[in-house]
DNA sequence: GGCCAATATAACCGCATGGTCAGACTTTGC
DNA sequence: GCAAAGTCTGACCATGCGGTTATATTGGCC
């Protein structure tokens, strides 16, 4: 590869990374190009050189985030076992939330504000994604493999509960009087959420190594 | 009452109302004192006269919001029926979310940012509230009236799912291809969420007038 | 009525911000 | 080697912001 193309790619990547951190920390309005530039170790004008303006940089960050989501549930078909699929989906999303809450928070702030820069994603991509996934769930229900529930609300519920641990991290940790999440938390939270939702859908939670229905994780 | 005291109270109230709307629309950083003043129909300097500065105004709004929350679950004791209590709590929160999403959104943005202006509320009030409510749930479990679940995570789950309809209103409506919530949505969503969570806790949902397990609300 | 405190508001200030620009420097293709 | 294209950056600008101040107006109270 060209040296030009190389540094171009490198710098853009560094800027995007820095921007994601800043936007995640301070939101769109609260983030300044200068902050991003400082974090990326570049002069401000250079950031503008690559991304023209703030909105453009922001939408680039937003796009990078949403492009890599919901993968887990994507491959599931009506032939798969609903309990397995949902359990796996829930746990994957919780792991994402705990390990990289920043991405979830940026997205959350965008939606709370009314998705001023990302409406197309909702209208075009996400709506169809939900409908598509809903048909799979409907098939499971039609075959009597799970209780009848509104599939769309079920998806909302899974999103809400799992992303809560990222978006409301401060509240969760403060209420639990913890400094930060630990590895075991991923399992414990996954157990709790998965158990309730699956049971709520009339599904038996798949067998797991440790059982953790009741005990809250206390280090 | 004094005419002075009266106008004072009136103006403060008008400013708070306007501020809540602006903060709900644009967040803390995105809201300007000028916007608030315009919406309240007062000159900017007058807003500053009453609230000294922007942070002060913001925390006043925040305080007004949180002070009026979680009432429903407050009065429940271990003697009550868990299914009734949880069902009622879930439905009340969903109704709040649908009817006044703004308050929820302001609070959500504050927490997502790490609660920079409202940490005390989390540490002092909310943590104890959760612990207190958790003991009630634990008693229900000890008496075998519901499945063993981590009470704290259950509370998080109820918060997350119910507030989702306020905070992510845009996403929910867009995915469902609706313009705005309608009265019947409150019931339908309430049915779905309550059913799954209660069943997930091993509880039988209390009898309701209409049954709406499956059918998605389509106008 | 007359004095004082409370209320109201226009004009102003300093500062940070998004974005521009001219020009220096570097790489590429020939 | 050299010109063209691409990259980099300090200096600059206009704007909008939070907050102050000086001054005018109003209402309470004797």
Q: What is the predicted pLDDT for the residue at A3?
A: 79
Which pLDDT tens digit goes with each residue over A69-96? 766 688 889 999 999 999 999 999 999 9
Which pLDDT tens digit goes with each residue over A1-23? 787 889 999 999 999 999 999 99
Specify the nucleotide whose C1' lies closest to residue B55 (CA): D18
Q: What percent of chain B has pLDDT over 90?
A: 86
A163 touches chain B (CB under 8 A): yes
Q: Is residue B123 domain-resident? A: yes
The number of C-beta contacts closer than 8 angstroms across A and B is 189
Residue B109, both tokens: 């943005």
Which pLDDT tens digit goes with each residue over B112-135? 999 999 999 999 999 999 999 999
Contacts 24+ apart (CB under 8 A), A13-21: A14/A40, A14/A41, A14/A42, A15/A40, A15/A42, A15/A47, A15/A50, A15/A51, A15/A57, A16/A57, A16/A60, A16/A61, A16/A64, A19/A57, A19/A58, A19/A60, A19/A61, A20/A61, A20/A64, A20/A65, A20/A102, A20/A103, A20/A106, A21/A102
Q: Is residue B124 domain-resident? A: yes
Q: What is the predicted pLDDT for the residue at B5?
A: 87
Residue B51, both tokens: 């609230």
Chain C positions with any atom < 7 A from a protein CB = 6-11, 16-22, 27-29
Which pLDDT tens digit goes with each residue over B79-97? 999 999 999 999 999 999 9
Q: What percent of chain B has pLDDT over 70?
A: 93
Q: What is the predicted pLDDT for the residue at B164?
A: 98
Task: For residues B33 and B81, state if they share a domain.
Answer: no
Domain with residue A46: its CATH number is: 1.10.10.60
Q: What is the predicted pLDDT for the residue at A219?
A: 45
Q: How many whole angstroms separate alpha carbon B47 and alpha carbon B40?
A: 9
Task: For residues A102 and A10, state if they share a domain.
Answer: no
Please name the residues between 170 and 209 in chain A that touch chain B, using a CB distance below 8 Å.
Answer: 170-172, 174-177, 188-189, 192-193, 195-202
Task: For residues B35 and B108, state if they share a domain.
Answer: no
Q: How many whole angstroms separate alpha carbon B14 and alpha carbon B7?
A: 10
Residues in chain B with CB shorter than 8 Å from the CB of A170 are: 111-112, 114-115, 119, 122
Task: For residues A122 and A82, state if they share a domain.
Answer: yes
Q: What is the predicted pLDDT for the residue at B69?
A: 78
Whether CB of A37 is under 7 Å from strand C: the answer is: no
Q: What average pLDDT is seen over chain B?
A: 93
Q: Is residue B206 domain-resident? A: no
B210 touches chain A (CB under 8 A): no
B45 touches chain A (CB under 8 A): no
Distance A50 CA to C22 C1' (A): 18
Q: Is residue A163 domain-resident? A: yes
Q: What is the mean pLDDT of the segment spanning B8-14?
A: 96
| Nearest-by-Cβ selection for A115 from B114, B160, B170 | B170
Task: For residues A48 and A136, state if they share a domain.
Answer: no
Task: For residues B95 and B196, state if they share a domain.
Answer: yes
Q: How far apart are the first and last CA of chain A?
A: 50
Domain with residue A182: its CATH number is: 1.10.357.10
Query: Which of A171, A134, A169, A116 is closest to B171 using CA atoms?
Result: A116
Domain that holds residue A122: 68-200
Task: For residues B98 and B183, state if they share a domain.
Answer: yes
Lowest-pLDDT range of A169-183, B149-163, B205-219: B205-219
Whether CB of A218 is under 7 Å from strand C: the answer is: no
Residue with tokens 């209409």: B210
A108 touches chain B (CB under 8 A): yes
Task: For residues A80 and A179, state if they share a domain.
Answer: yes
Specify the nucleotide whose C1' lies closest to residue B4 (CA): D27
Q: How far is CA B195 from CA A92, A108, A165, B86, B205, in A?
A: 24, 26, 22, 10, 6
Specify the nucleotide whose C1' lies closest to residue B3 (CA): D27
Q: What is the predicted pLDDT for the residue at B70?
A: 63
Q: How many whole angstroms separate alpha carbon B66 and alpha carbon B63?
A: 5
Distance A64 CA to C20 C1' (A): 28
Q: Is residue B175 domain-resident? A: yes
Task: For residues B129 and B57, state if they share a domain.
Answer: no
Task: For residues A100 and A127, state if they share a domain.
Answer: yes
B147, A199 contact by CB (below 8 A): yes
Which domain-ending residue is among B48, B63, B78?
B63
Q: How many whole angstroms separate alpha carbon A178 and alpha carbon A198?
A: 28
Q: What is the mean pLDDT of the segment spanning B16-21?
A: 98
Q: What is the predicted pLDDT for the residue at A91?
A: 96
Q: In this predicted model, which residue has the larger pLDDT, B5 or A98?
A: A98
Q: Is residue B212 domain-resident? A: no
Mark yes or no for CB contact A192/B111 under 8 Å: no
Chain D positions with any atom < 7 A from a protein CB = 6-11, 16-22, 27-29
A158, A93 contact by CB (below 8 A): yes
Distance B32 CA to D17 C1' (A): 8
A127 touches chain B (CB under 8 A): yes
Spans of chain A, pLDDT less than 70: 70-72, 209-219
Distance A7 CA to C18 C1' (A): 25
| Nearest-by-Cβ selection for B111 from A113, A165, A171 | A171
B52 touches chain A (CB under 8 A): no
What's the structural domain count of chain B?
2
Q: What is the predicted pLDDT for the residue at A218?
A: 46
Residues in chain A with CB shorter than 8 Å from the CB of B202 are: 199
Task: For residues A76 and A132, state if they share a domain.
Answer: yes
B125 touches chain A (CB under 8 A): no
Q: Is residue B113 domain-resident? A: yes
Distance A14 CA to C21 C1' (A): 25
Q: What is the predicted pLDDT for the residue at B209?
A: 60
């Amino acid at each position: 590869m060209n040296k030009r193309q190389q540094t171009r790619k490198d710098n853009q990547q560094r800027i995007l990374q820095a921007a994601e951190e800043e936007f995640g920390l301070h939101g769109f309005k609260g983030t300044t190009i200068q902050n991003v530039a400082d974090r990326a170790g570049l002069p401000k004008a250079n950031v503008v050189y690559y991304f023209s303006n703030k909105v453009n940089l922001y939408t680039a960050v937003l796009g990078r985030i949403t492009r890599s989501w919901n993968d887990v549930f994507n491959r599931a078909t009506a032939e798969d076992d609903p309990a397995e699929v949902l359990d796996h989906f829930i746990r994957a999303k919780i792991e994402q939330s705990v390990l990289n809450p920043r991405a979830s928070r940026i997205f959350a702030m965008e939606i709370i504000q009314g998705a001023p820069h990302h409406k197309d994603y909702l209208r075009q991509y996400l709506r169809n994604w939900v409908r598509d996934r809903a048909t799979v769930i409907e098939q499971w229900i039609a075959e009597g493999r799970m209780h009848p529930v509104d599939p769309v609300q079920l998806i909302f519920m899974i999103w809400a509960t799992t992303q809560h641990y990222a978006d409301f991290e401060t509240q969760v940790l403060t209420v639990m009087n913890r400094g930060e999440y630990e590895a075991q938390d991923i399992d414990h939270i996954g157990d709790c959420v998965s158990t309730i939702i699956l049971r709520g859908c009339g599904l038996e939670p798949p067998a797991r190594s440790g059982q953790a229905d009741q005990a809250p994780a206390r280090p």
